[in-house]
Amino acid sequence: MSPNPSPSPRPRPRWRKSSHSVGEGQCVEVAAWGGLVRLRESDDPDAVLGAAPAVWAAFVRGVKAGLYDA
């Protein structure tokens, strides 16, 4: 038996991206992790934003309603 057992690996977020994304990068990826909805750009995976689930849900409703269309 080892006197210093190695720690269990930390769980990692399971990132998802839209099926509309193309293979050229620059895709937004989303993961629910640690009580927040996490967002990152696939080209810069170390820069992660977090939002409360209610804030994310309000944003998605706004997108679906066309509130952010140019």
pLDDT (tens digit, 9 = 90+) per residue, 1-18?
556 777 777 788 999 998
* Element containing residue 29 per DSSP (H, E): strand 28-33
Q: Residue 22: its pLDDT value, please? A: 73
Number of separate helices (H) and strands (E) present in the chain: 1, 4
What's the whole-model pTM score?
Answer: 0.72
| Per-residue pLDDT band at 58 (split at 50, 70, 90) | very high
